[in-house]
Structure 1
Amino acid sequence: MPVLLQKDLNPALNTVTAYGDGFLEINRVRYDGALCFAPEGPIRSLAVRTAADLDAAFLQDLIGLKPAARDPLAFLDDGAPAIELPADAPEVLLIGTGPRQTFLRPDILQPLLSLGIGVETMTTQAAARTYNILMSEERRVLALLLPGASS
């Protein structure tokens, strides 16, 4: 049986309205599988099934991070490539890992944390509720939700 989260909808914002075994409902439209979305913009289906499928490159690509244009002599200062934050970069990335909370390794999170992007992993149910709260507060939040099956 689905759990309803939100009765009132703002049609301009992506809102988690329900979740259940193996599915999520955004703006009263049912989706199966993993999703990524922000308050505004497209709802993207993802080809990941579990938190073990996530790595640093995947998360950086999801957010839209790319190497910044650099001075050709920048290698004299340091060897690390600079990362350019997109204008719409989230303040926080919420990762719902299914019915059980799974923590990601620090090396996966560190590139985002070093850029000032907070990353929180929690159950998908908790992430859906947290997303709706942050979205209603007009925060720049990005949700990556893995539905999983209830146990």
Structure 2
Amino acid sequence: MLLQKDINPALNTVTAYGEHHLEINRVRFETAVCFGPEGPVRSLDLRTAADIDAAFLKALIGLDELVRDPLAFLDDTPPTLPHDAPEVLLIGTGAGQTFLSPEVTRPLLQLGIGVETMTTQAAARTYNILMSEERRVLALLLPGDSHA
């Protein structure tokens, strides 16, 4: 299905999707991908939502490199997020919606980063809307047949 007729070449846009592929900026991908409005589209070696764990999500966003003040627990100050940290992470889990366990999403939610799981088609449409509203969004999309 064609999603976007005209694209801004400076922004990553989901331009189409099908049963076994995604198209970002008119480039076809048949693997899981991760991208935000700007920057590279990264191919990922994920097959299903079951392959996603908390450490993977933290590394994806760059939270694994955060240095926290060892005395921060005294005033319950959360670590400072990277300036380009997303406000929401959209996870497209394939043709069917697969929810991630609370243990997987909790570290991001505790830092104020929203995590939404939905079908890949719904995530692609939602990403385009949020991106067009200039929101800090990150999409992690599995191919359409990848639900677990």
State the TM-score, normalizing by the size of structure 1.
0.89
| Residue of structure 2 equivalent to 1:14 | 12
Secondary structure at the counterpart of residue 4 of structure 1: coil
1:71-126 per-position Cα deviation (integer Å, ceiling 9, x unaligned):
5xx28849x9x644111000000000000000000011010000000000000000
Q: Is 1:87 matched with 2:86?
A: no
- How far apart are the structure 1 equivalents of 2:134 and 2:45? 28
Query: Which has the greater radius of gyration?
Result: 1
Does the CA contact (< 8 Å) of 2:47 and 2:146 recur in 1? no
Q: Is 1:50 matched with 2:55?
A: no
Does the CA contact (< 8 Å) of 2:93 and 2:146 recur in 1? no
Q: Which amino acid aligns with 2:33?
A: L
| Residue of structure 2 equivalent to 1:35 | 33
Q: Is 1:106 matched with 2:105?
A: no
Identity of aligned residues (%): 72
Moved runs in structure 1, 4+ residues, more than 4 A? none
Residue 22 of structure 1 deviates from its aligned partner by 1.5
Q: Is 1:68 matched with 2:64?
A: no
Q: Comparing both structures, which one devotes a greater share of its residues to strand? A: 1
Q: CA RMSD in A?
A: 2.2
Of residues 92, 113, 131 in structure 2, which corresponds to 1:135? 131
Structure 2 residue runs of 5 or longer lacking an equivalent are none
- How far apart are the structure 2 equivalents of 1:10 and 1:25? 15
| Residue of structure 2 equivalent to 1:25 | 23
